[in-house]
Structure 1
């Protein structure tokens, strides 16, 4: 293995620490919710629990807007270093809080940190790595998030909220202490006309002395982006809705993000302990939660391993029906239970089919949308597209978690699950009709296809 690959692997390893921390925050509510009012000194209502889950996603929406202010001033590296401030502070609030409002503050700060990470980390990795490592480093993001979720399940179920927060805080601290020694993105340095440091960064990251070709390519990228930066934000937003390929790209993004958010994964994972307790299956709730954590990691790893062979669209078309059947089966179980049928012989159904649902979700609907979104938008609309996508993600996830909580209290668990079943089926149909394959195509080929099919 040459020096360049070793150094880019090192970069990927250090950056993975911050992404895993996002997974810790994403999964934190699952082992913590059962502790409230039962062992944890904090007493919370079901409405407050829903907001504890939701406020992180609101924070993600806020955090995703911050990079557009910071990135071009302090760089990709500087922005990621700043991200550790809300991340470390959030764990302090979450661990030490003795009242619900302080937990709220911690969750919003966590979301802001994750929102910045989601926006900047793929860009930093893309600009610091070579063509050989760019793909693997980029697609690993969803898997690393899932690993973070599994870790918080495995650790958090057995220890107190305070201990869990203090252990989790080690992740952003470790990232800060190691990432500070890594170089800035050569694209940012070139944009600031610091060609000497840009060349030095390329030589170190690629492990070779002659980087003239790579430096020329970066100059072309910067020149192209500078032309787009002359457009005002209003003109960029106008570009989304006036150009045929941008309209189609935005429609594809909404379909895929709906598969990520509206199919019920956030509330099902957050409130899964209640689902298992309601079913009364003999396997403990903690064991069931660990099973879902393992399932989503295995599914995401499989997706990353085979996506180049199968293409992204096929994986989506396989994953969606798995989720539809799983949701319908769980909903049927709880509806039969609610109307008085004896389902004692089938208490295993919710646990088994939640795991199957998570396998389907982790196999396609979770990792693939972000990969598509990075490919389908032209350079001139990347900024407004990122803003709109982040806001849609935050609003739709917040709405679906609150919807689950209200419907479950009014009618029972089966009511929101039937809704998720219908939405997932609709998303499946829309993917079949409107989402093209992009695997193995250049960005230019994708744009030509989007323009031609409008």
Structure 2
């Protein structure tokens, strides 16, 4: 409900307005988003970036043939949330509060470190929960009556650590990874993958739980989270404080052109 009420007041993206040739509206949106009045330098740079990116063809083929676009797809896929389907009212309330605090943590740590720490902590929580369910199912002689608080505590801990990276970073970075020329196609593909992945994970959790036991999906998700935390450093780029153009150049492994000092001409 809050989203429906507040989102209409959000200005249109300056990138979109520049692509449509609406320079003045783009300036107004940039002023609102940057919270400053002197945005001429930013506007000129942004316009040049959009012109360069829109000069690309932006075909479906380039989504997989261009290295930067392939990396953007991989980075988006790496953000699939593999949490179990155990949402409750308390869980939703905690997510709302914690996600509000995520903005500050992400800005402090950066995208990549926030995601790495978050998914790593999620893996630890899931391993603990998986171990608990293994003991509960295969070691009935062990009395777990004093540890019945573990699943609830694990849910709370998972909610906390996932809110500071796993649940927010992938969505945040989707709008930062793709060039303006390919953004609509890339986001469409990623939205489809995320939707299909979420549906598949729910079905997979149900299948593993009913077929093998509660421990199985937790162990699987723990293993996936562990692998993801390791691969993050190679797949997910750091985009904190970077413009869309700088991100594109980083994905293409192009270094910024350094300003060279003029040297005196050799005397003949």
Q: Same fold (TM over 0.5)?
A: yes
Q: Any idea what SS the aligned residue of 1:236 has? A: coil
Which structure: greater helix fraction? Answer: 1
CA distance in 2, matches of 1:19, 1:247: 36
CA distance in 1, matches of 2:135, 2:38: 66
The answer to whether the 8 Å contact 1:187/1:218 transfers is no
Q: 1:333/1:187 Cα in 2 relative to 1: closer, same or farther (>3 Å)?
A: same
Partner of 1:382: 183
- Aligned-pair RMSD on alpha carbons? 3.7
* Shift of residue 438, structure 1, vs aligned partner: 1.2
Partner of 2:106: 307
Q: 1:241/1:347 Cα in 2 relative to 1: closer, same or farther (>3 Å)?
A: same
Partner of 1:264: 83
Q: Does 1:325 align with 2:124?
A: yes
The answer to whether the 8 Å contact 1:299/1:360 transfers is no
The answer to whether the 8 Å contact 2:129/2:218 transfers is yes
* Shift of residue 226, structure 1, vs aligned partner: 10
Q: Any idea what SS the aligned residue of 1:334 has? A: helix
Q: 1:219/1:443 Cα in 2 relative to 1: closer, same or farther (>3 Å)?
A: closer
Partner of 2:77: 254
CA distance in 1, matches of 2:27, 2:251: 38
* Shift of residue 264, structure 1, vs aligned partner: 2.1
* Shift of residue 450, structure 1, vs aligned partner: 1.1
* Shift of residue 205, structure 1, vs aligned partner: 6.5
* Shift of residue 431, structure 1, vs aligned partner: 0.6
* Shift of residue 218, structure 1, vs aligned partner: 11
Number of corresponding residues: 249
CA distance in 2, matches of 1:443, 1:374: 9
Instruction: Identify which of structures 1 and 2 has the higher relative contact order when contacts are C-alpha pairs closer than 8 Å and 6+ apart.
Output: 2
The answer to whether the 8 Å contact 2:127/2:218 transfers is yes
* Shift of residue 406, structure 1, vs aligned partner: 1.6
Q: List per-residue Cα deviations over 1:232-276 (Å, max 9, x = no partner).
A: xxx5211122222222222222112x2x2xx225x232xx6xxxx
CA distance in 1, matches of 2:235, 2:177: 13
| Structure 2: gaps (5+ residues) | 255-268
Partner of 1:407: 208
Partner of 1:242: 65
- TM-score when scaled to structure 1? 0.47
Q: Any idea what SS the aligned residue of 2:200 has? A: helix
Q: List per-residue Cα deviations over 1:52-106 (Å, max 9, x = no partner).
A: xxxxxxxxxxxxxxxxxxxxxxxxxxxx88xxxxxxxxxxxxxxxxxxxxxxxxx
Q: Any idea what SS the aligned residue of 1:441 has? A: coil
The answer to whether the 8 Å contact 2:54/2:180 transfers is no
The answer to whether the 8 Å contact 1:253/1:369 transfers is yes
* Shift of residue 423, structure 1, vs aligned partner: 0.9
Partner of 2:17: 187
CA distance in 2, matches of 1:223, 1:445: 12
Q: Does 1:127 align with 2:127?
A: no
CA distance in 1, matches of 2:149, 2:210: 23
Q: Does 1:429 align with 2:230?
A: yes
| Structure 1: gaps (5+ residues) | 1-14, 21-79, 82-120, 129-184, 273-288
Q: Any idea what SS the aligned residue of 1:342 has? A: coil
CA distance in 2, matches of 1:447, 1:226: 9
Q: Any idea what SS the aligned residue of 2:96 has? A: helix
